[in-house]
Amino acid sequence: MKNILKTALIASTLSLAGMQSLHAEQLSIERIYSSPSLDGPSPKSLSFSPDGNRVTYLQGKTEDLNRYDLWEYNLISKENKLLVDSQELFSGEEVLSDEEKARRERQRIYGQGIMEYTFSKDGTALLFPLNGDIYHYDLASKTSKRLTKTPAFETDVKFSPKGNYVSFIREQNIYAINIKSGKEIRLTKDGKDTIKNGMAEFVAQEEMDRMTGYWWSPNEKHIAFLRVDESPVQTVIRNEIYAEEIKLIEQRYPATGSNNVKIQLATVDLEDQDIRFIDTGKEQNIYLPRVKWLPNSKSLSYQWQSRDQKTLKLNLYNLKSRKQKTLLTETSDHWINLHHDLKFLRDAKSFIWASERDGFKHLYHFNIKGELIAQLSKGAWVVDSLKSIDEENGWVYFTGRADTPLERHLYKVPLDGKAPEHVVRVTKRNGFHSIVFSRDNRSYIDKFSNIQTPQQVSLHQVNGEHITWLEQNQITDNHPIKPYYDDIIMPEFGSLKSDDGKATLYYKLFKPKNMVPGKKYPVIVNVYGGPHAQRVTNKWQGAAMSQYMVQQGYIVYQLDNRGSNYRGTAFEFPIYENLGVVEVADQITGVKFLHTLPYVDKERIGIFGHSYGGYMALMTMFKAGEYFKAGVSGAPVTDWLLYDTHYTERYLSHPQNNAFGYQQSSVFPYVNGLQGPLMVYHGMADDNVLFTNTTKLIKSLQDENKVFELMTYPGSKHSMRGKKVKVHLNNTIMGFFNRHFNVTPAIAESNSKSESKNAASSNEAGTSTGN
C-alpha cells in the first residue's frame, strides 16, 4: 500500500492563497444541481473553424445551464463572445421525434438549444439541427435560413465535404439538399417499417460508439451507407410509465442470444442515385462497426466484426473495380475492443491503426497492402486515442497513459517508428487532458483539469507552449464555487495488490475535514466496476455528490477493479465468461484495506452504484454481506439474458455456449445472501437496462422474504436526467444511508436561505471569469 500523486497535487496550478479568508458556505444537494454550475464555465464540443480564425464551443446559459448557445474565441481579436444565440434560431420547448430522443439518450446528450453544430468547409456557414428541422446560419450576415419545414423530423445532419450539399435522414431514408439551388434529392427510397437507411442500429449507438449510418466520399460523388433490416430482431412490448400515462412501447430489442439486425453496406451515386451493394461475405450474423473513405475517394474501408467479437477485419473495397481485400485481421481468445484510431495518410498508400496485439493498446503503421511498416508506440501502458498525423514533420500525436494510468497526456512519436519505447510528452501539467488539433497541425486545444483544478481550456502551440486561455475558469470571488471552496476535500490516492497478487488496484479516498481522533466514520464505496470505465483519475470532481457525502461525515472510497479500462488486456480479460466474480473480489480487497484504517467503522461500510455499478452493489450485498453492510443499487442489470447482444456476448459469450456462466453472473443465485438494508431505484421508461431487470429482482426478493426499499421514477430513462429527478434521487440515497448508519445530516435549517442568496449572487456574477 502506498500513497501516490500527493506531490503532484500539491504542486497544482491553482493558487490557494487567500482562499481561507472567506468562510465557506455549506453545500447542499439542491445547489449541486442548480444554475450556474459550480464547476464554472464548461465549454462543450470544442472545435477549430476551418479557416483557423476561431475556436468554437457550446456553453449553457448562465440562467439555465441546460440550454446551450454557440460561443467563439476569436483568435484575431483575442476575445470570447457569443456567436449564435439559440433563442434567435428557435425559442420555446423543443419537440423531438422518438428516434431522436433515443439517439440523444444513446449519446448521453441532455439539454435544449444548440446541441450539435457543423461548419461548412470554407468556414463561412454553420448547420444546426433544431426542433426536427435544419437551420443554415451565415456568419458574415449573421442571418439564419431554415432549410427544411416538414412535418417529419430531420436528423443526423451533415455538410458534404466540399460544402455544396447538406445531407440528413428523414423517415428512414437519406436525403441531400443542393445549397445553391435548394433542390432536394432523395437518395434512398425503401426506408420504412423495419428498413432503415443510413441509420445506426440500437447496438451500434449504445455499444459501438457509432451514431451514424452514412458517410460522404471526399469528392462528394458518393455516399456509403448501411441498410439495416430490423425484421429479424424480436419485438419486446414494454411499459414506459409516466406520471399521467402509461405507454406501451413495441421495441425491437436484440437481447443476448437472439437475432441481430440484418445489415448491408452500399454506396449511392449522388448524380443518378444508383445504389450498389458491397459483398461483405457469406456470414450474415456479423457487425459492421466502422466505415471510412480513403482520401482519394477511390476506395472505401470497412471493419467486419464476427458475432463472437473475437475477430475483427479491416477490409478495403475499390469503388471502380468492385474488388476488395482484407488488409489485416485482429483475433483474440477473449474479445477485440473497438476503436476509432484508423487514419489513412494523404497519399492513401499507408495508414495508422491501433491494436492490443501485445496486450496493450498501441499504434502501428501499415502500408496499403496490410504489411506492417513499424510499431509506433510500445510499453506496459495504453494509448487512449490517435489525435493527429503531421506528415510534413514526421510526427504522430496521441493521448495516452505512458506516465501513469491515472492521468491522460498528449504525446508524440516519430512516424518512422524507429523509437517506439521513447515517446515524447507534450502536455506539461499533471492531470487529465482532452485534445483537439487544428487542421494545419500547428496548434491544439487543451481541455484540462486535475483533482484541484476545475476544467480549463487553453490554446497551445504544437510543442506544448501556451498561447492563450480560451476559458481560464479561475476561482475568483465571482466564481460559483468560491463560497464552497474552503470545504472542498481533496482525496488521497493509493494502490493495493489484489488478493491473488496478480494485479495492482488503484483507489481514491475522501476523508472528512477535521476528523476527531479516536472517532470511527462510516464509509460509502462509490462503485462502477464495469468494462470501458475508470473512476480513479487525477481529474476534477468539484462540488459533486462525493463532496456532499464527505461533508456529511462519510468517508467516500473508489477503487477500479479488474475488468475496468486503460490498464491493458491482462487487467480487463479476467471477467470473461463469468461476471461479478473478480470484480467483487477486488472490491472486497478494498474493504479489507479500509478495515486496517483506525478511523473506519467496519460495521458501517455501504456501497452505491448505478447501471453496472448497480449490478455491483447487488452482487456485493448478496455475496459479501460481511463486508458491505448497506447498499443502493441504481438501474441494475440483474439477469444478463435481459441485456443486449453486442455488450453481453462480448463478455459472457453466446448463452448457448456459456449457460452456466450466465446463470452464475446473474444476481438471482445469491439473493438469499442479503443481510443488510438494500435500496433499489430505477427509471420507469428505461430503454437500455429495461425496467424488467428490477421487476424480476422485486419478485425474487419478495419470494425470499427479503425486506428492501424501492424508489421508481416515472418517465426517467437510464441516465436519470433532470434537476428535479437528481435532487430527489440523491436526497433519497442520502436519507437511506443516514437512517441505516445513524448519521445526522450536517446541513442546518437556515442553510436553504443562504443557498438561495448565494445562487442569486452567482447568477448576477455570471461567467465573467474568462469570458
Helix ranges (DSSP H) in 632-691: 645-652, 659-665
Q: Which of 226, 388, 152 is nearest to 399 (CA)?
A: 388
**104: helix, strand or coil:** helix
Poorest-confidence range of 103-112, 181-190, 366-375, 742-751?
Answer: 742-751
- In this structure, are residues 592 and 605 in contact, taking their beta carbons and an 8 Å threshold? no
Between CA 383 and CA 47 the distance in angstroms is 22
Beta partners for 145?
A: 136
Over 60: is that where the pLDDT of 757 sits? Answer: no
Over 80: is that where the pLDDT of 686 sits? Answer: yes
Looking at per-residue pLDDT, the higher value among 49 and 16 belongs to 49
DSSP 548-576: HHHHTT-EEEEE--TT-SSS-HHHHGGGT
Poorest-confidence range of 136-140, 399-403, 501-505, 647-651?
Answer: 136-140
Instruction: Check residue 751 and give its pLDDT.
Output: 43
Poorest-confidence range of 91-105, 146-160, 213-227, 318-332?
Answer: 91-105
- In this structure, are residues 64 and 76 in contact, taking their beta carbons and an 8 Å threshold? no
CA 615-617-619 angle, to 5 degrees, is 70
Q: How confident is the model at residue 258 (pLDDT cuts 50, 70, 90)?
A: very high
Q: Which of 376, 338, 332 is nearest to 357 (CA)?
A: 332
Between CA 479 and CA 37 the distance in angstroms is 10
CA 430-434-435 angle, to 5 degrees, is 110
Instruction: Check residue 771 and give its pLDDT.
Output: 28
At 493-528, the pLDDT tens digits run: 999 999 999 999 999 999 999 999 999 999 999 999
Mean pLDDT of 74-89: 87
Q: How many domains are there within the chain?
A: 1
Helix ranges (DSSP H) in 576-675: 582-595, 612-623, 645-652, 659-665
Between CA 733 and CA 194 the distance in angstroms is 41
- For 638, the enclosing helix (H) or strand (E) is none
Length of the chain: 771
Instruction: Check residue 758 and give its pLDDT.
Output: 44
* Strands 395-400 and 125-130, sheet pairing: unpaired
For residue 407, the 8-state DSSP code is -
Over 80: is that where the pLDDT of 100 sits? Answer: no
Residue 308 is which amino acid? D
Over 60: is that where the pLDDT of 20 sits? Answer: no
At 234-245, the pLDDT tens digits run: 998 888 889 999
Q: How confident is the model at residue 747 (pLDDT cuts 50, 70, 90)?
A: low
Q: Alpha carbon 377 to chain centroid distance?
A: 25
Mean pLDDT of 726-731: 98
CATH code (residue 611): 3.40.50.1820
Poorest-confidence range of 11-25, 198-212, 523-537, 608-622?
Answer: 11-25
At 379-389, the pLDDT tens digits run: 999 999 999 99
**187: helix, strand or coil:** coil
Active site residues: 611, 686, 718
Looking at per-residue pLDDT, the higher value among 62 and 139 belongs to 139
Looking at per-residue pLDDT, the higher value among 413 and 149 belongs to 413
Q: Is residue 709 part of a domain?
A: yes
At 550-603, the pLDDT tens digits run: 999 999 999 999 999 999 999 999 999 999 999 999 999 999 999 999 999 999
End-to-end Cα separation, the chain, in angstroms: 44
Q: How confident is the model at residue 159 (pLDDT cuts 50, 70, 90)?
A: very high
On the question of a cis peptide bond just before residue 454, with omega within 30 degrees of 0, the verdict is: no
Helix ranges (DSSP H) in 355-484: none
Instruction: Check residue 65 and give its pLDDT.
Output: 72
Q: Alpha carbon 716 to chain centroid distance?
A: 19
Q: Which are the contacts of 760, defined by CB distance < 8 A and separation ≥ 6?
A: none
Q: Is residue 583 part of a domain?
A: yes
On the question of a cis peptide bond just before residue 636, with omega within 30 degrees of 0, the verdict is: no
Q: How many CB atoms lie within 10 A of CB 518?
A: 7
Instruction: Check residue 23 and give its pLDDT.
Output: 52
For residue 418, the 8-state DSSP code is S
Between CA 131 and CA 157 the distance in angstroms is 13
Q: Is residue 756 part of a domain?
A: no
Q: Where are the beta strands (DSSP E) in 2-117?
A: 2-4, 44-48, 54-61, 64-74, 79-84, 112-113
570: containing domain: 490-746
Q: Is residue 218 part of a domain?
A: no
Mean pLDDT of 389-394: 96
Between CA 664 and CA 581 the distance in angstroms is 9
HEC profile of 571-588:
HHHHHCCCCCCHHHHHHH
Q: How confident is the model at residue 61 (pLDDT cuts 50, 70, 90)?
A: confident
Q: Which of 45, 134, 109 is nearest to 83 (CA)?
A: 45
HEC profile of 428-456:
CCCCEEEEEECCCCCEEEEEEEECCEEEE
Q: Is residue 302 part of a domain?
A: no
Q: How confident is the model at residue 754 (pLDDT cuts 50, 70, 90)?
A: very low
Between CA 62 and CA 40 the distance in angstroms is 10
Over 90: is that where the pLDDT of 96 sits? Answer: no
Q: Is residue 259 part of a domain?
A: no
Q: Is residue 283 part of a domain?
A: no
Q: How confident is the model at residue 762 (pLDDT cuts 50, 70, 90)?
A: very low
- For 689, the enclosing helix (H) or strand (E) is none
Between CA 255 and CA 233 the distance in angstroms is 9
Instruction: Check residue 24 and give its pLDDT.
Output: 62
- In this structure, are residues 399 and 386 in contact, taking their beta carbons and an 8 Å threshold? no
- In this structure, are residues 650 and 309 in contact, taking their beta carbons and an 8 Å threshold? yes
For residue 659, the 8-state DSSP code is H
Instruction: Check residue 548 and give its pLDDT.
Output: 97
Q: Is residue 649 part of a domain?
A: yes
